[in-house]
Amino acid sequence: MKTLLYTSIAATALSAGGALADGKVTVITSFPDSMTGPIEAAFEAAHPEYDLEVLNKKTSAGVKYIQEIAGDNTADIFWASAPDAFEVLKSDGLLADVTIKSEGIPERIGAYPLNDPDGKYYGFAGAGYGIMWNERYLKANGLEPATEWDDLAKAEYHGHVGMSAPSRSGTTHLTVETLLQGEGWDEGWAKWKRIAGNFSTVTERSFGVPDGVNTGNFGLGIVIDFFGFSSKASGFPVDFAYPTVTALVPANVAVVNNTPNEAGAVAFIEYLLTPEGQTVLLDPAIMRLPINPATYANAPEGFPNPFEDSTIGATVEFDVAKSGARYNLVNSMFDVMITYRLDDLRAAVGAIQAAEAAHADSGNEEAKALIAEAWALIDANPIDEAKSLDPEFAGIFTKKRKKATDEVGARQAEVEQEWDAMVVANYAKAKELADKAAGM
């Protein structure tokens, strides 16, 4: 015990000593060890004068951590997928202004601008959202892989689909928002609720989805591409496809305000954007889309290249401002309508699917009308798009009081209770109608 204590004290002293030297660059990241490891090794080989200290936190915990330590900042870099997390930090004034030199990096990936227009954060890799499936699971259940969002809403996938909640995972939020922007507010939500009616589960972490598909806990998952690629590369019997409506978005990196080691932080970001740094992204355990088009020359066979294959991520012109304006509101709506009421929603959608199957060829118009009415109840939205973009209403969900005298109107709990009451009643009524139709 004592020896251990001494060893640990020695280790602490050493790391404290390291902090005083110029070399240490502290990185807060949501990326897994399997991704940061190879990049860290490559960076330290190229820049032996720096020592990268990687701290892994979930995106939301990372944002909280940086907010909490802002008074006496010890972090140099924030490194994560979701642009929204960077937007949150940026709006809190926690990201530094730095100049990054790079060559051969385009302005956009897909339809998405690579870098923050204010120069607070930089894209270093691309990622798109799609559908991942377990081949053994599908075979055992006699299913074909779904490749479009519409497929996932089909009755045969009932109870076989998994997804993470957008409030838990920044990348999932992007998937939700992409469909809302690609299909329109009402159609987008209707589609989400019909897909969610087929959910087996809503996972707490974004990694819970590939994990569930890998183990065969559920058959299909809505995931970010590299989870699909790296699971496949690890040997799991899984595969991945991009649907037509998807957005390619950059994974980002930024320097934290009041960084203890600005030179080191800048050196790290610049290294990520060099051809060598970009090539590390093709490591089988990482599998992110490089943003330097030249790097694709080294890519393995069949690896998607968004700079040549224009169908990937081209359909949706992702509007960052719109997404940011209603960020928390969309998360809250998803949780109220889907995450917390999944059992009710699943039961209602299941009942409607059963009624539809019973009346597929019956020609019973009355039953068809009931089914349509039931779908309309599922699809109904508590608020319209204009309201979602009303800054005063969306403000209820952020509660950022600039001054002590600011008033924010209604409370989030009130609004959520109102929505909850509406969806619970709608789902119950929809199930009742569907059961009635099925009995005809």
- Interaction pattern, residues 372-411, with other proteins; x per rule: CB under 8 A: -------------------------xxxxx--x-xxxx-x
Residue 337 and residue 220: Cα distance in Å, rounded? 21
- The neighbouring-strand residues paired with 253 are 79, 122
For residue 148, the one-letter residue type is E
Residue among 226 and 307 whose Cβ is closer to other proteins:
226
Residue among 136 and 372 whose Cβ is closer to other proteins:
136
Q: Exactly one of 1, 297, 321, 360 binds other proteins (CB under 8 A); which one?
A: 1
When asked if residue 171 is in the footprint of other proteins (CB under 8 A), the reply is: no
Considering only the stretches 109-117, 123-131, 213-221, 311-319, report the one whose residues sit in contact with other proteins under the rule CB under 8 A: 213-221
Smallest gap, in angstroms, from Cβ of residue 236 to other proteins? 5
Considering only the stretches 120-128, 188-196, 349-357, 418-426, report the one whose residues sit in contact with other proteins under the rule CB under 8 A: 418-426
Residue 283 and residue 29: Cα distance in Å, rounded? 18
Contact between residue 316 and residue 180 where contact means Cβ atoms under 8 Å apart: no
Q: Exactly one of 81, 102, 115, 167 binds other proteins (CB under 8 A); which one?
A: 167
Considering only the stretches 239-247, 263-271, 273-281, 419-427, report the one whose residues sit in contact with other proteins under the rule CB under 8 A: 419-427
Question: Given the structure tokens 């330290």, which residue do they identify?
Answer: 44
When asked if residue 334 is in the footprint of other proteins (CB under 8 A), the reply is: no
**Under DSSP, is residue 195 helix (H, G, I), strand (E, B) or coil?**
helix
Smallest gap, in angstroms, from Cβ of residue 212 to other proteins? 8
- The neighbouring-strand residues paired with 78 are 28, 254
Smallest gap, in angstroms, from Cβ of residue 160 to other proteins? 10
When asked if residue 343 is in the footprint of other proteins (CB under 8 A), the reply is: yes
Site for other proteins in 65-84 (CB under 8 A): 65, 68-69, 71-72, 74, 82, 84
Contacts of 70 (CB under 8 A, 6+ apart): 92, 94, 257, 258
Contacts of 350 (CB under 8 A, 6+ apart): 158, 159, 197
Determine how many CB atoms are found less than 10 A away from the CB of residue 403.
5
Q: Exactly one of 10, 49, 156, 215 binds other proteins (CB under 8 A); which one?
A: 215
When asked if residue 63 is in the footprint of other proteins (CB under 8 A), the reply is: yes
Angle at 305 between CA 304 and CA 306, to 5 degrees: 110
Look at the chain and count its residues.
440
When asked if residue 145 is in the footprint of other proteins (CB under 8 A), the reply is: no
Q: Exactly one of 49, 64, 369, 384 binds other proteins (CB under 8 A); which one?
A: 64
Residue among 122 and 419 whose Cβ is closer to other proteins:
419
- Could you tell me whether strands 121-134 and 248-255 are parallel, antiparallel, or unpaired per DSSP bridges? antiparallel
Largest Cα–Cα distance of the chain, in whole Å?
Answer: 82
Residue 187 and residue 195: Cα distance in Å, rounded? 12
Dihedral of the CA atoms 183, 189, 191, 195 (nearest 10)? 140
Q: Cα(first)–Cα(last) distance of the chain, in Å?
A: 75
Residue among 140 and 372 whose Cβ is closer to other proteins:
140
Smallest gap, in angstroms, from Cβ of residue 270 to other proteins? 24
Contacts of 166 (CB under 8 A, 6+ apart): 172, 173, 175, 176, 177, 330, 331, 334
- Could you tell me whether strands 289-290 and 238-241 are parallel, antiparallel, or unpaired per DSSP bridges? unpaired
When asked if residue 56 is in the footprint of other proteins (CB under 8 A), the reply is: yes
Considering only the stretches 5-13, 102-110, 175-183, 429-437, report the one whose residues sit in contact with other proteins under the rule CB under 8 A: 5-13
When asked if residue 350 is in the footprint of other proteins (CB under 8 A), the reply is: no
Tokens of 78: 């924030």
Considering only the stretches 176-184, 332-340, 366-374, 383-391, report the one whose residues sit in contact with other proteins under the rule CB under 8 A: 332-340
Q: Exactly one of 168, 191, 288, 326 binds other proteins (CB under 8 A); which one?
A: 168
Site for other proteins in 262-321 (CB under 8 A): 285
Smallest gap, in angstroms, from Cβ of residue 203 to other proteins? 5
